Structure 1
Amino acid sequence: MTTPDHESPAPQPPASEFKDRAYRSSGGIAGGVLLLAIAGWLGIDAIVSGHGRTPWLALATMILVAPLIVAFTLRPAVHANEERLRIRNPFRIVVVPWGEVLLLRSGYSNEVVVKSGGKYQLWAVPVSLRARKKAARQEARGAMDRSGGASRVAAGGRLSGVFGRGGLPTGAAVPEGPVRAESDKVMDDLRALLEAHEQVETAQGEVTVRWAYEIAGPALAGAVLLAILVATG
């Protein structure tokens, strides 16, 4: 008696060749969730407990404020793969093929400059001067430790047994390479993608910009409703 042959598994679709790397601000997301919670709590309380025009004013304010909070905190993101850079800013989505990128610039903000002369800020990768200064101090301490130039602390004939050179715990690993702020690391990743793919055929094309009507529409409706309520008050 013959046994039936096992059916071969169905072929799986190939994995996407160009997977996105996503970059977002964890601080912005946390702040946005907190602000939405506060706005929702105050707004719902005013709608439920308010009298006269108060519930309507609270509703209009919530319709105006909620999309703006989402736009500036939860929405910003940067997606990058081997073909293009996709920037989701508060009110626009910008898609830039690597072949159209002139440079990625870091100053008081992180920006992408395109060959046509335009520039677009990366809202999802905010610059923190404090983080840069902290990274610079850590890099200086690490350089001293690697070169053996830091002196040990001695007081009254006591050598620091717990802490070694540069105030680092004895036996602590010394970081290899330069210490960088988190946003600068992201820009380094994007520059590496640009350098590797700017000449690739699939990374050519035109820059496209789309306005975020899903954010602007509700915010505008809330603003109009609030203006009408105030004007007729």
Structure 2
Amino acid sequence: MTTPDHPTPTPQPPVPAAKDRIYRSPMALVAGVLLLVIVGWLGFDALFRGHGRTQWLALAGMILLFPLVIAFTLRPAVFAGDDRLRIRNPFRVISVPWGEIATLRSSFSNEVVAKSGTKYQLWAIPVSLRARKKVERRQARAASDAARGGRSQRVRPVGMNLGGIGGLGGFGGGADADAGSPARADMDQAMADLREIHERRGEAEAAQGEISVRWAYEVAGPALAGAVVLAILLARG
């Protein structure tokens, strides 16, 4: 029996699980939507305005192209959870516990290398040499502006330094103007985030297990069916 001196403890609500971090390519999403619009526009136009064989070719082409466009643009994503990394590539879904990852490597493509030596490419995090060069140019420009600002501050007479008035920077912008600029390209920053999670969770007991690979038959099946129908129509002339 509960007494006033010993009240029954109130049960605490369960702590919600942390949401996965999701990494996707914005450019791939935009390109995918545009390609779907173009394929749909041309396909439906041929389907409703064409005659005879043209309609069948348009239908088979759309059945083939729609899944492929979705697979290579809208589908790829990387989900980083506390226990495992889930990689959704065009035709496969790979679930890799953090403890089974040997390294995350960036060269001409971003890859996960398992302890067994198997490599899995991260389609959702492509390497962009153009983005890297853009960030390098921005950093070089910021360093040059900072150097010029430092020299001008050394020769500026007392009372002419505007840096302390209302938080204004120097005339050249200086380093403060680019203080909020990213130190890495977006995709390189994503890989840095994944490496940080791997270092932090790689030895956790919950982050151990086996790698699982599942083929995306929901994408490959329709594409294969469209390819077969299209090949039959073209072969029959």
Conserved? CA contact 1:145–1:174, under 8 Å: no
Structure 2: which amino acid aligns with 1:93?
A: V
Task: Report deviation, 1:174.
Answer: 3.4
Conserved? CA contact 1:112–1:122, under 8 Å: yes
Are residue 212 (structure 1) and residue 219 (structure 2) matched?
A: no
Residue 46 (structure 1) aligns with: 46
RMSD: 2.5
Are residue 122 (structure 1) and residue 129 (structure 2) matched?
A: no
Residue 99 (structure 2) aligns with: 99
Conserved? CA contact 1:24–1:124, under 8 Å: yes
Task: Report deviation, 1:175.
Answer: 1.7
Task: Report deviation, 1:93.
Answer: 0.3
SS at match of 2:178: coil
Query: Unpaired runs of 5+ in structure 2?
Result: 1-10, 153-161, 163-168
The runs of at least 4 consecutive aligned structure 1 residues that moved more than 6 Å come to 149-152
Task: Report deviation, 1:179.
Answer: 1.6
Over 3 Å counting, the alpha-carbon distance change for 1:75 and 1:36 in structure 2 is: same
- Counting only pairs closer than 5 Å after superposition, residues 1-233 of structure 1 correspond to structure 2 as 14=14, 16-146=16-146, 164-165=171-172, 168=173, 173-175=177-179, 179-233=183-237
**1:73-120: per-residue Cα shift (whole Å, max 9, x none)?**
000000001101000000000000000000011111111100011011
Q: Determine the C-alpha separation between the residues in 2 that align with 1:144 and 1:53.
A: 64
Return the TM-score normalized by structure 1: 0.83
Conserved? CA contact 2:143–2:175, under 8 Å: no
Q: Determine the C-alpha separation between the residues in 1 that align with 2:204 and 2:175.
A: 46
Of stretches 178-187 and 84-93 in structure 1, the one that deviates more from structure 2 is 178-187
Structure 2: which amino acid aligns with 1:180?
A: R
Return the TM-score normalized by structure 2: 0.82
Conserved? CA contact 2:149–2:170, under 8 Å: no
Task: Report deviation, 1:172.
Answer: 5.1
Q: Determine the C-alpha separation between the residues in 2 that align with 1:117 and 1:232.
A: 46
Q: Matched residues, percent identical?
A: 60
SS at match of 1:210: strand
- How many aligned positions are there? 212
SS at match of 2:29: helix
